[in-house]
Amino acid sequence: MITLTPKRTFTVPIQAACINVDVFTGKTLQEIKNLSITEGKETITLNDAFDITEDKTIETPNITLTGDFSKVKRIGQGMKTGEIVINGDAGMHTGEKLSGGKIVVNGNSGGWTGSEMKKGLIEIHGNSGDYTASPYRGTSTGMRGGLIIVDGDVGTDVGCYMQGGLIKINGSAGRYLGFHMLDGTIYVGKDCSIRAGACMTGGKIIINGAVELLMPTFTIDSVKPKVKIDATQIAQGPFYVFLGDIAEHGTGKIFALKATNPTLSNYEKYL
């Protein structure tokens, strides 16, 4: 196991896509220390910014990051195998384009965590920022597979252009959840802000708390006693089931828990 600890408090962003099991594998400790990163506009080595140690008796996790990494971007970018554990906050783009392996954040994670993710697992034992599991503006390659678990809340525009996989949010979600969603599942354990499912054409969003405002381009379809989250978990209802986004000829589904959404009872007369 390789352990990295910041040598100082970072004041500008650090681009460190090389903090990656695929990159570290096969390298000596000295070679790892000499890997290049950027701090602001300056090119430095990993060793300039972090104390780096190796414990050959511990195989998993492969990399442990201990301390404040909130300014460190692109941890685990494109990683295919192995495990990274971050004991602290993680910066933007953590796990971007992840195609295997596991990343655990024992803190909060920044924006675009899991962007364009294909496979693997990201666990965030805190909050996650805006655009989690979403592509950059101007692109439409969303999350295609894998699992993201967030114990806390998420920001806005989470799961945009999602094409597969599962996002499990145990807290609340911000605006535009599942914007332009095509497939996959998003589960929200608590409340959800406005415009959930805007422009979605497929997939499902399950909201266990209150929906702040349901978009008028969704129509009620039925009331279901329960809904499947994944192969191992079922959310107990009853749930209102809404279809949409009709403006996009969509066939996506929003499941809103009946008990926490009494204002949606007016839709029952259309069943």
pLDDT reported for residue 210:
98
Kindly report the pTM of this predicted structure.
0.97
**To the nearest whole number, what is the mean pLDDT of the chain?**
97
- pLDDT tens readout for residues 217-265: 999 999 999 999 999 999 999 999 999 999 999 999 999 999 999 999 9
pLDDT digits (tens, 9 = 90+) for 78-135: 999 999 999 999 999 999 999 999 999 999 999 999 999 999 999 999 999 999 999 9
Closest CA to 105 of 113, 115, 97: 113
CA 210, CA 256: separation in Å to the nearest integer? 8
User: What is the rounded radius of gyration, in angstroms, for the C-alpha atoms of the chain?
Assistant: 20
CA gap 240, 270 in Å, rounded: 12
Write the CB contacts of 138 (distance below 8 Å, at least 6 apart in sequence). none
In a domain, 22, yes or no: no
Average pLDDT over residues 70-76: 98
Three-state secondary-structure class, residue 263: helix
- Residue 234 CA to residue 69 CA, distance in Å, equals 35
For the stretch 120-140, pLDDT in tens is 999 999 999 999 999 998 899
Sheet holding 72-73, edge to edge: 42-45, 36-39, 14-15, 72-73
Q: Is residue 176 one of the residues assigned to a domain?
A: yes
- CB of 96 closer than 8 Å to CB of 129: no
Q: Is residue 11 assigned to a domain?
A: no
Would residue 256 count as lying in a domain?
yes
**Among candidates 223, 217, 220, 222, which has minimal Cα distance to 200?**
217
Q: What is the CATH number of the domain that holds 181?
A: 2.160.20.60
SS3 assignment, position 254: strand
Residue with tokens 């945009």: 160
Mean pLDDT of all residues in 40-59: 97
3: in domain: no
Residue 31, in any domain of the structure = no
Residue 173, in any domain of the structure: yes
Among the listed residues 265, 202, 205, the one whose alpha carbon sits nearest the alpha carbon of residue 229: 205
Q: Can you tell me whether residue 130 is helix, strand or coil?
A: coil
Half-sphere exposure of 34 (CA within 13 A, CB side): 5
Asked if residue 13 has pLDDT above 90, the reply is yes
Q: How many domains does the chain have?
A: 1
> What is the C-alpha to C-alpha distance for residues 35 and 197, in angstroms, rounded to an integer?
42
* Enclosing domain of residue 69: 60-270
Q: Among positive and negative, which fits the CA dihedral 223, 239, 120, 135?
A: positive
How do strand 14-15 and strand 36-39 relate by DSSP bridges?
A: antiparallel
With 0-12 / 13-18 / 19 or more C-beta atoms within 10 angstroms meaning exposed / middle / buried, residue 9 is: exposed
> Does 136 reside within a domain?
yes
Nearest one of 186, 185, 190, 155 to 170, comparing CA atoms: 190
